[in-house]
C-alpha cells in the first residue's frame, strides 16, 4: 500500500535534483563577468530609485479603488450570464440575483459611509 507513495518520492527526488543541478550547472558553465547592473535588485536596465530609509508610507487610495474594482468586476461576471439566460432562469434566478446584489450593496454602503469613496 505504501508503494502508492513511491511516485511522490520520485517526484521529490527529481525536483531536488533539478533545483540543485540548475544552480551547480549555472556556477560551472555560466560566464561570470562582473558589472554594476548585476548587483541591482532587478536586472532590467532601469536604475532603481533609492528607497527612503525607515518605515515609509504610500497612499492607500489606489488599493481601495482596486478592491472596489474587483468587487464590481465579480458582480458583472455574474450579472452578464444571468442577463443572457434571464428568461429561462425565471423567478429563481431573479431571487438569487437580488440576494447577491444586496450583499454586494451592503459592502458598498459600508465603503461609502466610512469615506472610502472620497479621494482626499
Partner 1 sequence: MSVVISAAGSGAGPVVAAAATTIDTPSIQYLQLSPVLIVFGVAMAGVLVEAFLPERARQLVQPLLTGGGFIAAFVAVCLLHAHRGVLAAGAVAIDGPTLFMSGTILVFAALSVLLVAERKLDSAGGTLVADASVVPGASGARALRNARGMQTEAYPLMAFSVAGMMLFVASNTLLVMFIALEILSLPLYLLAGLARRRRLLSQEAAVKYFLLGAFSSAFFLYGLALIYGFAGSVELGRIADAANTVGRHDTYLYLGMALLAVGLLFKIGAAPFHSWTPDVYQGAPTPVTAFMAAGTKVAAFGALLRVFYVAFGGLRWDWRPIMWAVAILTMVVGAVIAITQRDVKRLIGYSAVAHAGFILVGVAAANTEGLSGTMFYLVAYGFTTIAALAVVTLVRTGDGEASDLARWQGLGKQKPLLAGSFAFLLLSMAGIPLTAGFIGKFSVFEAGIAGNAVPLVVVAVLTSAIAAFFYVRVIVLMFFSEPTGERPVVVTGSTLTYATVGIGTVMTLLLGVAPQPLLDLANHAAASGFVR
Residues lying near partner 1 in the complex (CB under 8 A) are found at 1-2, 4-5, 7-8, 55, 57, 60, 85, 87-93, 103, 106-107, 109-110, 112-114
In the complex with partner 1, the residue whose CB is nearer, 25 or 80, is: 80
CB 52 within 8 A of CB 104: no
* Of the candidates 82, 77, 80, 74, the residue with the CA atom closest to the CA atom of residue 104: 74
DSSP 62-91: HHHHHHHHHHHHHHHHHHHHHHHTHHHHHH
- The smaller minimum CB distance to partner 1, of residues 28 and 106, is found at 106
Closer residue to partner 1 in complex, CB, 42/58: 58
Nearest 5°: phi and psi at 61? -60, -45
**Smallest gap, in angstroms, from Cβ of residue 65 to partner 1?**
16
Q: Minimum distance between the CB of residue 89 and partner 1, rounded to whole angstroms? A: 6
Amino acid at each position: 500500500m505504501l508503494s502508492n507513495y513511491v511516485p511522490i518520492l520520485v517526484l521529490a527526488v527529481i525536483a531536488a535534483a533539478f533545483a540543485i543541478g540548475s544552480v551547480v550547472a549555472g556556477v560551472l558553465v555560466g560566464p561570470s563577468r562582473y558589472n554594476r547592473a548585476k548587483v541591482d535588485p532587478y536586472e532590467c536596465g532601469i536604475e532603481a530609485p533609492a528607497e527612503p530609509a525607515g518605515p515609509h508610507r504610500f497612499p492607500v487610495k489606489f488599493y481601495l479603488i482596486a478592491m472596489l474594482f474587483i468587487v464590481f468586476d465579480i458582480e458583472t461576471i455574474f450579472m452578464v450570464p444571468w442577463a443572457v439566460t434571464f428568461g429561462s432562469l425565471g423567478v429563481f434566478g431573479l431571487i438569487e440575483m437580488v440576494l447577491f446584489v444586496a450583499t454586494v450593496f451592503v459592502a458598498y454602503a459600508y465603503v461609502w459611509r466610512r469615506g472610502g469613496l472620497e479621494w482626499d
